[in-house]
Amino acid sequence: MIKNIKKIKRDVKNKKATKATNGMQLIANGSALLKRGFVLVISEIFKKN
């Protein structure tokens, strides 16, 4: 998996990104945003007033 990520980054630098690499990037970005969102929601819920 790590080798694939390095290849994807290289392809993106060389402007040879395919639909698969774009899809993988979208999934990775989406999961990171979801994690951040859950952290924010949970921190708001359990925030001491």
Determine if the pTM surpasses 0.75: no
Neighbours of 5 (CB within 10 A): 13
13 closest CA partner among 2, 24, 21: 21
Contact 25, 33 (CB under 8 A): no
CA distance from start to end of the chain = 44
Q: What is the pLDDT of residue 27?
A: 86
Per-residue pLDDT tens digits for 1-49: 567 777 777 776 776 667 777 777 888 888 989 999 999 989 988 886 5
Output the pLDDT for position 6: 78
pLDDT given at position 9? 74
